[in-house]
Amino acid sequence: MKEKIAVLMGGRSLEREVSLKSGERVCAALTERGYRVLGLDVTPDLVSTLRAERPDAVYIALHGKYGEDGTVQELLEFLDIPYTGPGVVASALAWDKAVSKRLFVREGVPTPAWVTFTADAFKEMGAATALDRVPEVVGGFPLVVKPAKQGSALGLTKVQDAAHLPDALLSALSYGDAAIVERWIDGIELAISVLDDAEGPRVLPPVEMVPKSGVFDFSAMYTPGETDYYVPARLDDTTASEVIALAARVHTLLGCRHVSRADLVLGLDGVPYVLEVNTSPGMTETSLLPMAAAAVGMDFADLADHLVRSALDGAV
């Protein structure tokens, strides 16, 4: 028998259902590959279960708060259990878009113009009186309003005019204490996954998303048939190598290890804008990372196995 792997999934996150789907698929794949697999829905018993079961490594199939923001990573380091995916700092940086976008700008990585608002800025400092400045600062409408820290496009609204901005902000702030107002970039939506192997970051073929509704929101993400996907993305060679290099760069820039997935828009101006980096990419039927892996002949079990080996073999 191979090593014992605990797969963490579910938990209190708003993305619980997606995480359970990811986790169950990972459990099945690792079982198929001969690992002793322990699927764990995250509850207050997690630590005692992990201490009693003493797994050789943890596969983190959690999405959203606690699973993707560094919390569980910090805990696993304290318990001295190897785990899949980026470490504490990379997770925390990528999770907070307000922070990772600042970092992109500092390092010259193109990202759409934006402004961040916290709930407290509105409640304590009267920030709502300055909303008229938003279009000017981010470069006009349409805009995208989204929670600064949330995955799966929950709470995301595309805003066409000033009248709808406050509602979109209030909606986004229901998902967390900070919201981002970002310039909408027309262009090609791309998801580019990066896997570490012995030679360093290996970028998988870019996946192109074409949502039928025009916005890659929660429903477009998880309803089969709502979005068309093309793998590899329909790009010319120069552009393809440019976006691939960019994905590798942000992977390294945030200090990611094992895996990451950068979401980009290739603007009509030819500039690839990085929207965000995901450190716990989805592993469901319709998820982008498994799709990209399949395009290079890596099936789902290969992918899960690869990530587990990365954790077990201490590829940091």
Partner 1 sequence: MGTARVVFDKWDGRYAARMKDVRSSAVRDLFAAATRPDMISFSGGMPEISRVPIDEVVAAATAALRESGCEALQYGSSEGRLALRAFVCELMAEIGVRIRPDDTVITAGAQQSLDLLAKVFLDPGDVVITEGPTYLGALQAFSAYQPRIVCIPMDAEGMRTDVLAAELEALGPRGAKFIYTIPNFQNPGGVTLTPARRRTLLELARTYDIPVIEDDPYGRLRFEGGHAMPLRALDEEVIYLGTFSKIFAPGLRLGWAIAPRPILGRFLLAKQAADLCGSAYAQLTAERYFGGTRWRRVLQDLTRTYAERRNAMAAALQEHFPPEARWTVPEGGFFIWVEMPAFLDLKSILAEAVEHGVTYVPGDAFFPDGRGRNCMRLAFCYAEPEAINEGIRRLAEVLEDRLELYRAFAAAGAVPAGPDAAAERG
Measured between alpha carbons, how far apart are the two ends of the chain, in Å?
25
Residue from 59, 83, 175, 222 carrying the catalytic annotation: 222
46 lines the binding site for partner 1 (CB under 8 A) = no
Distance separating alpha carbons of residues 298 and 158, to the nearest angstrom:
35
Residue from 10, 11, 15, 39 carrying the catalytic annotation: 15
37 lines the binding site for partner 1 (CB under 8 A) = no
Q: Active-site residue 263, yes or no?
A: yes
Q: Active-site residue 15, yes or no?
A: yes
Q: Of 115, 231, 244, 277, which lies in the binding site for partner 1, with binding defined by CB under 8 A?
A: 231
Residue reference for tokens 């590899």:
232
- CA-wise closest residue to 5 among 221, 314, 305, 233: 305
- In residues, how long is the chain? 316
HSE-CB of 72 using CA atoms within 13 angstroms: 33
Q: Active-site residue 53, yes or no?
A: no
Distance separating alpha carbons of residues 301 and 295, to the nearest angstrom:
14
Find the part of the chain contacting partner 1 (CB under 8 A) among 29-37, 46-54, 81-89, 116-124.
Answer: 116-124
Nearer to partner 1, 90 or 148 (CB): 148
Residue from 13, 22, 91, 152 carrying the catalytic annotation: 152
Query: Can you read off the two tokens belonging to residue 198?
Result: 């012995």
225 lines the binding site for partner 1 (CB under 8 A) = yes
Q: Active-site residue 85, yes or no?
A: no
Q: Are 70 and 60 in contact (CB under 8 A)?
A: no
Positions in 148-187 near partner 1 (CB under 8 A): 154-155, 165-167, 169-175
What is the enclosing helix (H) or strand (E) of 47? helix 46-53
Q: Active-site residue 234, yes or no?
A: no
Residue reference for tokens 């560094």:
70
Q: Active-site residue 199, yes or no?
A: no
Least distance to partner 1, CB of residue 116, Å: 16
Q: Active-site residue 24, yes or no?
A: no
Q: Active-site residue 222, yes or no?
A: yes
Least distance to partner 1, CB of residue 130, Å: 8
- CA-wise closest residue to 310 among 256, 258, 261: 258
126 lines the binding site for partner 1 (CB under 8 A) = yes
HSE-CB of 206 using CA atoms within 13 angstroms: 27
Residue from 69, 96, 189, 276 carrying the catalytic annotation: 276
Q: Are 128 and 134 in contact (CB under 8 A)?
A: no
Residues with a known catalytic role = 15, 152, 222, 261, 263, 276, 278, 282
Residues that bind partner 1 (CB under 8 A): 12-18, 20, 43, 119, 122-123, 126-129, 131, 154-155, 165-167, 169-175, 205, 207, 218-219, 222-226, 228-234, 285-286, 291, 295
